[in-house]
Structure 1
């Protein structure tokens, strides 16, 4: 698979877990030219918010939340690359050190996990979640009862037998500190819902039982401050897509924008009924007892700060909670605006047909991203073939396909809401901005679930004639065929998920989730123009001006 951006072709990260990462003793600075060029793909963004919108008490709570988030960052390092300190000690080139920090290890996350330090080798599929040398078959045939527990690692005991070690045992000292910080914040907050959530989340970090805190988080309605914290996403586990990684977002709610978004979640059941797929794949009723809000994000930590930066969040991931209660969709407006201004607009100027550049605007970008998150609530969570939850049936193939579903059903929602008059604007702006968004996200490469999802959409739409590449090397949307392709791809993805056929999904990935030489040459043009691929952050209490 050709992945990412630049002159070097990255690995797909698909080698078996028998490839291990050895602890470097004295790593020579090498590949510096590559690293120095790749640093330029990131645009630095300062994360701030209007502190005048916060009370004096809320401004005192923010540093506690940031300190707790920083502990999640340390825990993610232990999961992604526990040899960080010895690696950094052997490096002299400051830019190489910076690139290691950006990538949480010596592999370029936005170029197919290409190693950028000599002697490192390929990135293990299982990160540090599994013993070196363990294969998928080894775990499959083991007698472990909780072999796919999201909140544990697999290790070997003194006899070589595979055992499961809970996170709250493995990381007890760090989690105790984070829990204490959340408890301190809970004592200070005046918002009852936020206080309940902080206390329950603090307890959950210490026992890995997150359901009660997830329900409390969904019940919060009046809080201005928020923190998403804990082991949440499973993208880092490319072996089974089972183990979760630590991360945190510290958020400040934008009341004005949040009020504008409140009505859309209630429309999910009606939109579910109209999905362009056979009836058996849309029988489930989406949960609607949750909120859609906009935030300024003031701190990213851990998994969400690695590789491509998240600009919207749909949580919790637990399928039972989603069906019973729904999810909260959090739009990270300041980060989203930064990506639109610094990345998407320049991409559109280079690759979107001149006659259609007028259709690129932020409101359409915001809506497309927002409804991507809302669309996670549509479709199907249980297979129709008796294989259990879709995530369990598809394992390592589930993450990227779910992101692809959210992309395409988000566009489906935009189309349907425009027709109903519940959304304003010209469909041409949403479709053209979506096309520019595809060209932005395919640059994330094959090691990213979002990158794979966008490659699939790009190649499927191209096959259906939803856009053409002009003789000038720009892309022009065919608006009628775009909608047809949207419905067709929705049908394909929902059917794949409902059937729970992992081999069929893998075949689709190998066929569609690839970058053609022609597309790669266009992406290289963006690199030559100096258009960034993603953002990194200046963040923290000093940037915010709080202590």
Structure 2
């Protein structure tokens, strides 16, 4: 199995001081140590336990559903162990590196974050660290996260957290551009049918763009281009949220997935209308709007109501709403028609890539199912034609279809049942 570690070598990084370079080296050392820890999690995920048995046991022992516990079967009995105890030996050297970096850095706030990361790894005090990140007013030149995060890719149940690390350097120009988009997108006040069901935190969203030097653990497997954290709605309601975009993983995804699919599914004449830079920036914009759209989709009971189908619906809803909100940028002259079309083209490429590389064990299987739903929905609406292996999009019809699909998905998040989600997925997948 390939080691879950990716080292990037960004060009044109800002000039770092001697102290910042020394801290960066320590953070990279700490991040690399997450790779073997995540491999242990992958091995653990292979030990299957009957889902029905787990659900019955969880009624007596809620710790089974805690995102930061390992669930095993020992001598016929279900045993639950907190992460910081189960992986204590592997976590100590990571925490030691973080403590060393916290003492070395000249930035007091960043040093405090590193101490809290180390504390979270060894004590399980994850919320304290998450809140500290959300309270930072101004991003530092260095950026890292090392620890477990709950992603909707899941291992045992979709709520289990995966160990991961990223280490990067702030892209100030990209961050300014992202915050410019944010000011427009999050100024749109969208009404909810049941306003008490949704957490509106648009005034408490922080955003930054990073040049990445390291991905480790789950981040190296998933190669995320963007994240919106935290996933815990109660934390979002109290403290807000943050979104992060990663430049180098975007370039990697363009190279590995988007461009090959673009060349495969579109005609020569269609491809001549788009430059490589249109595709690169189009995908990064689409991811940015996807992450911004999450700010409108924090429904308090959606995860409970939709259970294991929640990640499929929620992630697709964010993508579709993001593309829909791009219309606001168009009206404000922040993007042009070509740039909007580039975003749609790259999501089509991403969706067709997953369609041709389906893997039920992939950590991104929920995104793949969502992409398949999108393709089938717009085909049924006459917005996309597939003939002879080539795809012919009608951008006007696609944009109209986005509104209908977005409304359907948000209905499911707001007040849909598990059965509603099942029927919707069955209809379009």
What's the TM-score, normalizing by structure 1? 0.70
Match in the other structure for 1:166: 82
Preserved CA contact (<8 Å) 1:290 1:325: no
Query: 1:46 offset after TM fit, Å?
Result: 4.8
Preserved CA contact (<8 Å) 1:297 1:334: yes
Q: When the two structures are aligned, how many residues end up with a matched partner? A: 414
* CA distance in structure 1 between the partners assigned to 2:190 and 2:15 by the alignment: 40
278-287 or 428-437, which deviates more: 278-287
Residue deviations 1:126-170 (CA, integer Å, cap 9, x gap): 544xxx5x3222222221132210111223466x44332111111
Match in the other structure for 1:154: 71
Preserved CA contact (<8 Å) 1:234 1:244: yes
Match in the other structure for 1:480: 396
* CA distance in structure 2 between the partners assigned to 1:380 and 1:289 by the alignment: 13
Query: 1:229 offset after TM fit, Å?
Result: 1.7
Bigger Rg, structure 1 or 2: 1
Match in the other structure for 2:315: 403
Query: 1:379 offset after TM fit, Å?
Result: 2.3
Match in the other structure for 1:497: 413
Preserved CA contact (<8 Å) 1:180 1:202: yes
Match in the other structure for 1:302: 217
Asked if residue 188 in structure 1 is aligned to residue 104 in structure 2, the reply is: yes
SS of equivalent to 1:476: strand
Match in the other structure for 1:363: 281
Match in the other structure for 1:63: 25
* CA distance in structure 2 between the partners assigned to 1:284 and 1:50 by the alignment: 39
Match in the other structure for 1:74: 36
Query: 1:247 offset after TM fit, Å?
Result: 0.8
Higher RCO (CA < 8 A, seq sep 6+):
1
Preserved CA contact (<8 Å) 1:247 1:301: yes
What's the TM-score, normalizing by structure 2? 0.87
Query: 1:71 offset after TM fit, Å?
Result: 2.3
Match in the other structure for 1:264: 181
Residue deviations 1:317-368 (CA, integer Å, cap 9, x gap): 2212223333222111122123324542332233124443214612222211
Query: 1:235 offset after TM fit, Å?
Result: 4.3
Q: CA RMSD in A?
A: 2.7
The 3 A distance-change label for structure 1 pair 240 and 338 is closer
Preserved CA contact (<8 Å) 2:151 2:161: yes
Query: 1:241 offset after TM fit, Å?
Result: 0.9
* CA distance in structure 1 between the partners assigned to 2:403 and 2:381 by the alignment: 11
Query: 1:60 offset after TM fit, Å?
Result: 1.0
Match in the other structure for 1:311: 225
Match in the other structure for 2:238: 324
Residue deviations 1:383-422 (CA, integer Å, cap 9, x gap): xxxxxx3223323222222211121111012122212334
* CA distance in structure 2 between the partners assigned to 1:283 and 1:301 by the alignment: 33
Unaligned stretches of 5+ in structure 2?
A: none
Preserved CA contact (<8 Å) 2:153 2:366: no
SS of equivalent to 2:228: strand
Match in the other structure for 1:429: 342
Match in the other structure for 2:253: 339
Unaligned stretches of 5+ in structure 1?
A: 1-34, 83-125, 383-388, 514-547
Alignment of 1:164-243 (within 5 A): 164-220=80-136, 221-235=138-152, 237-243=154-160
Residue deviations 1:450-501 (CA, integer Å, cap 9, x gap): 211111111111111121124x532121122101211111111111122252
Preserved CA contact (<8 Å) 2:38 2:217: yes
SS of equivalent to 2:392: strand
* CA distance in structure 2 between the partners assigned to 1:171 and 1:432 by the alignment: 43
SS of equivalent to 2:205: coil
Preserved CA contact (<8 Å) 1:49 1:252: no
* CA distance in structure 2 between the partners assigned to 1:251 and 1:151 by the alignment: 25
Alignment of 1:368-407 (within 5 A): 368-382=286-300, 389-407=301-319
Query: Which has the larger share of helix?
Result: 2
